Amino acid sequence: MFERISKEDLKNCPEFQMKNFRPGKKFLVAIDTDGCVTDNMNGKQMLVFHPQYMEFYQLWDIESYFREVAEYYSLFSIHRGCNRFTAIYLTLETLHRRQDVKSAARQTHTKIPSIEPINKYIEFCNNKSLGLGNSSLEVFLGENPMDLRVYKLLGWSEAVNRSFPFISMRIPPFENVKKCLEMMYNVADIIVVSQTPYDDLVDYWEFHDLLRYVRIICGQEMGSKSHHLKVIKENSGYLDNNVLMIGDSSGDLKAIKENKGCFYPIFPGKENDSWQRFPGAFMTFIEGNYATHMEKKLIDEFSKVLLTSPAWEKPDYDHLQAYKEKQEIRRALYEKLNPGGNLLIV
């Protein structure tokens, strides 16, 4: 039975449930949430993460550049699904490197935020073996109380956490997800592994009546997805081929392969089809034949979906054309979920 972690325990001992997890069944299934169980990846980035950052750092005059770069790292590349702080680090690094962006920033008197505070924060977490999230950012802030840039970074992340549920809760799970969970629940322990904050994950799974299928939920406060799987496997004794990760990003694939398990991909843009064919794949998995009969073909197909290099590195690159390519996705989201929001249409 699922037990919610208190805010105090989440801050003081976030790995308690992972370290004390014990198998109830022969198989373990780990599932990502955003973009995997629910179609909220585009919405949370385009409607929440990116506009909140532009508002906090007054980047609206270079909106097309910021959105293009941030969307590449957060949604359409092999970095899809990475932690929010990692995504912002990659975005800022690119903005500072691109001459066209720096020129546009000068013309509009826009200051691109320094990469230094977020770089130091990521290094701090790596050195302390902490997960990237507001809890560890507060610890970092405690050791850097006079760095005003860290307060601003925390403010942005807190604003994201406050506004994201208003978008997320309105987006239901993909078709067939509940049916697949019911099927898995009969023979496997189900856990959630994600880089979304713990409370947001619990609230979503509870709101959509999915929590009853889940043993534990692992959010960004508990570390990376690879770390989640490592800790649970070390304390559980599941055989490698009895562990399955369901995910929609290269990070999900990397996490499970670092822990010698199997991977079932949810294809971005073809999520309903992926869940529709999952029961057959899962039956092959519990029969012990998935790793040898199906997995490689699915991973090969999946590897072709996400971009490995950005448009701005190509010789025929046209910035406005690149921005327009995703314009209808943004427009549809804003019209449906935030009709009064700021969005540049070109």
Q: Could you tell me which of 225, 234, 237, 236 has the C-alpha nearest to residue 263? A: 225
CA angle 55, 56, 61 (to 5 degrees): 45
How do the domains of the chain map onto residue ranges? 7-39+174-303, 41-168
- Please tell me whether residue 262 adopts helix, strand or coil conformation: strand
Residues near 4 by Cβ (< 8 Å), separated by ≥ 6? Answer: 202
Burial zone of 81 (CB within 10 Å; 0-12 exposed, 13-18 middle, 19+ buried): buried
H/E segment holding residue 304: none
* Residue numbers of the chain with a pLDDT score lower than 70: none
Domain 7-39+174-303 = CATH 3.40.50.1000: yes
The distance of Cα 147 from the centroid of its chain, to the nearest Å, equals 28
pLDDT per residue as tens digits for the range 81-111: 899 999 999 999 999 999 999 999 999 999 9
Burial zone of 314 (CB within 10 Å; 0-12 exposed, 13-18 middle, 19+ buried): exposed
Q: How far is the C-alpha of 142 from the C-alpha of 127, rounded, in Å?
A: 16
Q: How far is the C-alpha of 340 from the C-alpha of 230, rounded, in Å?
A: 44
The predicted structure's pLDDT at residue 140: 97
The predicted structure's pLDDT at residue 118: 97
The predicted structure's pLDDT at residue 53: 98
> Using an 8 Å Cβ cutoff, are 198 and 219 in contact?
yes
Q: How far is the C-alpha of 218 from the C-alpha of 90, rounded, in Å?
A: 24
The predicted structure's pLDDT at residue 7: 87
The predicted structure's pLDDT at residue 10: 87
Helices marked H in the chain: 7-12, 16-19, 41-43, 50-57, 63-71, 84-97, 99-107, 116-128, 134-143, 148-168, 177-185, 198-207, 225-234, 250-257, 271-276, 278-286, 290-293, 295-303, 319-324, 327-337
